[in-house]
Amino acid sequence: MKITNQIVEKHGLKLEEYSIIKKLLKREPNLLELGIFSAMWNEHCSYKSSRKHLKNLHTIGKQVIQGPGENAGVIDIGDDDAIIFKIESHNHPSYIEPYQGAATGVGGILRDVFTMGARPIALLNSIHFGSPSHFKTKTLLNGVVSGIGGYGNCIGIPTVAGETKFNSTYNENILVNAMAVGHAKKNKIFYSKAKGLNKSVVYVGSKTGRDGIHGASMASAEFDENSEEKKPTVQVGDPFTEKLLMEACLELMKDNSIISIQDMGAAGLTSSSVEMASKGELGIELHLDKVPCREENMTPYEMMLSESQERMLIILEDGKEKHAEEIFKKWDLDFVIIGKTTNTNKLTLKYNNKVEGEIPLDALSSKAPVYDRKWIKKKLTKSKIDTKKLNNIKIEDALIKILSSANHSNKSWITNQYDQMVMCDTAQRSGSDAAIIRIHNKQKAIAVSVDSSSNYCNSHPLTGGKQIVCENWRNLISVGAKPLAITNCLNFGNPEDSKIMGEFAECLIGIKEACEFLNYPVVSGNVSFYNGTNKKNISPTPVIGGVGLIQKLNKPINHQFKKDNSIIIVIGKTFGHLEQSVFFEEVYSITDGSPPEVNLTNEKNNGENVLEIIKKDLVNSVHDISNGGLIVALAEMSMGSDYGVKINKPKNLTNLFKYFFGEDQGRYVLEVDKNNLEKVEKILRNNNIFYENIGFTQKDYFEIQKELKIDIKELYKINNQWYNNY
Amino acid sequence: MNSSVIVFPGSNCDRDIAVALEKLQFKNKMVWHKETKLPKSDLIVIPGGFSYGDYLRSGAIAGKSLIVNEVIKAANNGCLVLGICNGFQILTETGLLKGVLLRNKNLKFINKDVNIKVINNDTKFSNKYKKDQVLKINIAHNEGNYFTNFNHLKELNNENLIAFKYCNKNGDTNKEANPNGSLENIAGIFNTKKNILGMMPHPERMVDNLISNTDGINLFSSLLK
């Protein structure tokens, strides 16, 4: 077949890129080769627009065993234990087919983690939908939630934390980001780099079908009105097979049979074989007639581009083939030697011994295009909000409005659909600042949380990038964990637009600054561009997934009040920053203004002191102050517990709205027993930490002196109705 | 006491139950579904999960597996058999327990802690509990909506074969306390000889205060008596 311009464009390649391909090959590619270039050169696989900026991220630290560049990041949690984790997007497929899109998102990220030798121990997700009133939102919400649950519940990994947000910016392009966390022994970590000549290349797992062909290319383009037609590019998940594949791989990983292993994720057989061989500076030869196929008459083109799920490519040590085969047969999985490593530095594809395609590997990896795209800075919008009209509403009404809104309602309608308890190590389930997972058979535990704040990032990407790392850090601190490292999922619009590219570049600068300052490196991640439909881009939405360590888990700490008459302390200074606040958005529909300032020094000092206080067992409960400000934090601590609060009116700040709803950063609420107060205050004073005693807990009522008094059962009811009525 | 946990492809609570049994000093063995012989067992546990992917119907394929023939033989010889969640579904598929588990009334997977009440404490499985004791136990299932025919329901009640019922904190077995639409709030049942217990809630998840509570422990310690 002659490759026409139209065919090139259909493969998502620019004509300029096609000329580079011809130059690299020194000839015209055939259709199979073109397909492979399109799979490897698309944004999703090549990071061609983001690479330049990603290089600047802070990725090092004593705790890092493996930073970005592998299937997932690896960190050291002491003894011989390592934690392996990563977050990934599945936005485009989930918009087209919510159940399967979300399910395979979970499946894909799990494979990234167990490929490296870890048994997955926790799943998290960050899901963003359009406005609740948009006609598609309800179906998408239902489909995505049951897809995430369907996969995680079946494979038997607890889904322990996440966030769900609604915003019209996602009306035509939802976000589904899934994160997996696994535990491995430090000396048993598996990498994708191939080593040695003439080693067997083995295909294991499910058979290859025609699903998902060009999935990665789809994820590298904007949607238009014909997006529905892309349904066949969405893969179909089978969590049962994944469970078998996981157990089989972990069984084979017990000895030294595996040289390298790579899951077939985006761009399936193509990207896995190319990645392994190019990292090892080898060649690879595949005999496609040997690939187990689900459908008849599949062509080499279809096999190489299929994104059928639950498949792995393994390079085995000599003589281990039989042993490995026995394990995969025990689990009723396909096991076929489909090729070998070579010294040609080429990807060679044969069908019935006839060469169907041959491409130098560097053309697919190191020589793939990298773009230094134009980007422009965003200016901080000068405040222009007239605060005089704030007096028109009562604090009580504003609080109720927020607690009953889609974004701030209790999410148990969602989390009850996820098995959070399987594996019996979940010490803190969803609903608190972070989830806590005990390391099996050990006293230590990890805390995990995922966070984003697209409003802040949209108004000022640099501050937003910084803020979101800090918030994630704060969430781990709040459950008594020392934050160790993060993974990030960078969801942005079209990078060819300099404004969008600017959002990306600036968010990354913010993320880098915060990570560096907090010694909180990025160890893995994923970039998702082209989130938008018909030229309408989503707000920049970097999502941060963090992992922290609790050295000795004696008693999990969470955000709910525990006792009557304990002292409530606010750590960190309240200035009353209302722009970009939930209060403005939910009560007045005002979305202008700049986000709250992030002071990294205060953030770090405040956090470290809170951690010390928790470690010394001086608090009953802790909650970070984030969206909605102090009053929402206090309400969240009350709802679902038996205790409310009695809060004094602030002495210094006269504007109550600013005081209660302001979203100043770096703040925490602590519930402290009277007999521990002196010790806590001493620590804070000695370290020059700003704090205020603002009141105490009381039975049954949520009360602000002379302003409001509500039964906490009533608050709970208000907070729990939105999902059930939707 | 010797216990065996049957492991099907897709079982995912097998490790959890083994941990609980070993905590209670059972001598436990894991038994792969392709085995044709059971080790010497005083107790056989069929764990939760999605055996064979639960394709076709929950528990349907597992109910026809090789090892299950051995479980049926052992059960008929009086061996104690405990089926939890998917294990309960499998037991109904084999006919060892009567009735079926339909999809939850709200058509969604449900994972949460619920209260259940001990209806019959005069059995090998429940003698350490008090009658009408209210427990807080985690449930996690898509198909836990127990249903059976009129005559069998009568038999369950007359012969005291209902093990647990969903209830509220105070022990009332009302409609609001029923998470999945189960007939008469039934959460677990015995066979006529009371050597087989099938239940949807997961007692193995409730053996450690650091993780949840210890309301499940007495089920296992009852068996040791």
Residues of B in contact with A150 (CB under 8 A): 109
Distances (CA, A) of B221 to A686, B166, B214, B216, B224: 51, 22, 12, 9, 5
pLDDT of amino acid A210: 86
Half-sphere exposure of A70 (CA within 13 A, CB side): 27
Residue from the list A153, A415, A553 with its beta carbon closest to the beta carbon of B210? A553
Q: Is the pLDDT of residue A384 over 70?
A: no
Is the Cβ pair A146, B208 closer than 8 Å? no
Q: Is the pLDDT of residue A286 over 70?
A: yes
- Supply the DSSP string of A234-274, one letter for each residue: S----HHHHHHHHHHHHHHTTTT-EEEEEE--TTHHHHHHH
On whether the CB atoms of residues B196 and B99 are closer than 8 A, the answer is no
Is the Cβ pair A150, B109 closer than 8 Å? yes
Give the dihedral of Cα atoms A37, A40, A44, A49; nearest 10 deg: -80
Q: Is A31 exposed, middle or buried (0-12, 13-18, 19+ CB in 10 A)?
A: middle
Q: Does A280 touch chain B (CB under 8 A)?
A: no
Is the Cβ pair B53, A424 closer than 8 Å? no
Is the Cβ pair A243, B9 closer than 8 Å? yes
Q: Is the pLDDT of residue A650 over 60?
A: yes
Is the Cβ pair B16, A423 closer than 8 Å? yes
Q: What average pLDDT score do residues A420-428 get? A: 98
Residue from the list B49, B204, B207 with its beta carbon closest to the beta carbon of A156? B49
pLDDT of amino acid A533: 86
pLDDT of amino acid A44: 85
A231 band by pLDDT with thresholds 50, 70 and 90: low
pLDDT of amino acid B111: 98
A334 band by pLDDT with thresholds 50, 70 and 90: very high
pLDDT of amino acid A212: 74
pLDDT of amino acid A229: 64
Residues of B in contact with A414 (CB under 8 A): none
Q: How far is B41 from chain A (nearest CA, A)?
A: 24
On whether the CB atoms of residues A592 and A579 are closer than 8 A, the answer is yes
On whether the CB atoms of residues A347 and A358 are closer than 8 A, the answer is yes
Amino acid at the residue A357: G
State pLDDT tens for residues B133-184: 999 999 999 999 999 999 999 999 999 999 999 999 999 999 999 999 999 9
Q: Which residue of B has its CA nearest to A439?
A: B211
DSSP B39: P
Rounded CA separation A459/B224 (Å): 64
Residues of B in contact with A238 (CB under 8 A): 53
Task: Look at phi and psi of residue B53 and say left if phi exceeds 0, alpha if psi is from -120 to 50, else beta.
Answer: left
Q: Which of B115, B87, B88 is nearest to B8 (CA)?
A: B87
pLDDT of amino acid A448: 98
Q: Which residue of B has its CA nearest to A423?
A: B16
CATH number (domain holding residue B105): 3.40.50.880
Q: How far is B17 from chain A (nearest CA, A)?
A: 9
Q: What average pLDDT score do residues B65-81 get? A: 96
Is the Cβ pair A424, B49 closer than 8 Å? no
Is the Cβ pair B53, A239 closer than 8 Å? yes
Residue from the list B16, B49, B50 with its beta carbon closest to the beta carbon of A424? B16
Question: Residues of B near A (CB-CB distance < 8 A)?
Answer: 9-10, 12-13, 15-16, 19-20, 48-50, 52-55, 108-112, 138, 140, 142, 202, 204-205, 207-208, 210-212
Which residues are CB-contacts of B19 (< 8 A; sequence separation ≥ 6)?
A: A424, B204, B207
Distances (CA, A) of A474 to A158, A528, A566, A677, B18: 23, 26, 22, 22, 37
Instruction: Name the residue range of residue B108's domain.
Output: 2-224
Q: Of these residues, A90, A183, A214, A460, which one is catalytic?
A: A90
Q: What average pLDDT score do residues A493-520 get? A: 97
Residues of A in contact with B13 (CB under 8 A): 156, 422
Q: What average pLDDT score do residues A270-286 get? A: 95
CA A639 to chain centre: 28
Lowest mean pLDDT among A213-217, A466-470, A557-561, A641-645: A213-217
On whether the CB atoms of residues A270 and A39 are closer than 8 A, the answer is yes
Q: What average pLDDT score do residues B183-209 get? A: 98
A232 band by pLDDT with thresholds 50, 70 and 90: low
pLDDT of amino acid A265: 83
Residues of B in contact with A153 (CB under 8 A): 50, 109, 111, 140, 142
Chain A 17-76, residues with CB within 8 Å of chain B CB atoms: none
Q: Which residue of B has its CA nearest to A246?
A: B10
Q: For residue A653, which phi and psi values (nearest 5 degrees)?
A: -85, 120
pLDDT of amino acid A173: 95
Any catalytic annotation for residue A44? yes
Is the Cβ pair A154, B54 closer than 8 Å? yes
- Average pLDDT of every residue of chain B: 97
Q: Please report the ipTM that was assigned to this predicted complex.
A: 0.97
Q: What average pLDDT score do residues A469-473 get? A: 98
On whether the CB atoms of residues A418 and A148 are closer than 8 A, the answer is yes
Tally A–B CB contacts below 8 A.
85
Q: Does A142 touch chain B (CB under 8 A)?
A: no
State pLDDT tens for residues A142-175: 999 999 999 999 999 999 999 999 999 999 999 9
Residues of A in contact with B48 (CB under 8 A): 422
Q: Does A417 touch chain B (CB under 8 A)?
A: yes
Paired tokens of A725 = 């009525």
**How many helices (H) and strands (E) would you count in chain A?**
26, 28
Rounded CA separation A406/A402 (Å): 9
Q: What percent of chain B has pLDDT over 90?
A: 99
Q: What percent of chain A has pLDDT over 90?
A: 88
pLDDT of amino acid A2: 84
Q: What average pLDDT score do residues A181-209 get? A: 96
Q: Does A412 touch chain B (CB under 8 A)?
A: yes
Q: Of these residues, A11, A44, A287, A623, which one is catalytic?
A: A44
Q: Which of A207, A138, A131, A134 is nearest to A166 (CA)?
A: A131
User: Which residues of B are catalytic, by number?
Assistant: 85, 202, 204
Q: What average pLDDT score do residues A367-376 get? A: 94
Mutate to test the interface with B, among A106, A145, A424, A555 (most CBs of B within 10 A): A424
Q: How many domains does chain B have?
A: 1
CA A625 to chain centre: 22
State pLDDT tens for residues A521-543: 999 999 999 999 888 999 999 99
Q: What average pLDDT score do residues A466-491 get? A: 98
Rounded CA separation B10/B18 (Å): 16
Q: How far is A456 from chain B (nearest CA, A)?
A: 34
A235 band by pLDDT with thresholds 50, 70 and 90: confident
Rounded CA separation A102/A150 (Å): 9
Distances (CA, A) of B75 to B44, B83, B86: 9, 12, 18
Neighbours of B174 (CB within 10 A): 11
Rounded CA separation B91/A723 (Å): 36
Rounded CA separation A244/A482 (Å): 34
Distances (CA, A) of A706 to A92, A631, B107: 51, 15, 46
Q: Which residue of B has its CA nearest to A239?
A: B53
Residue from the list A150, A331, A416 with its beta carbon closest to the beta carbon of B112? A416
On whether the CB atoms of residues B188 and B201 are closer than 8 A, the answer is yes
A391 band by pLDDT with thresholds 50, 70 and 90: low
Half-sphere exposure of A135 (CA within 13 A, CB side): 0
Q: Which residue of B has its CA nearest to A422?
A: B13
The two beta strands, A346-351 and A283-287, are parallel
Residue whose token pair is 């927020």: A402
Lowest mean pLDDT among A336-345, A377-386, A694-703, B22-31: A377-386
State pLDDT tens for residues A574-590: 999 999 999 999 999 98
Q: Does A416 touch chain B (CB under 8 A)?
A: yes
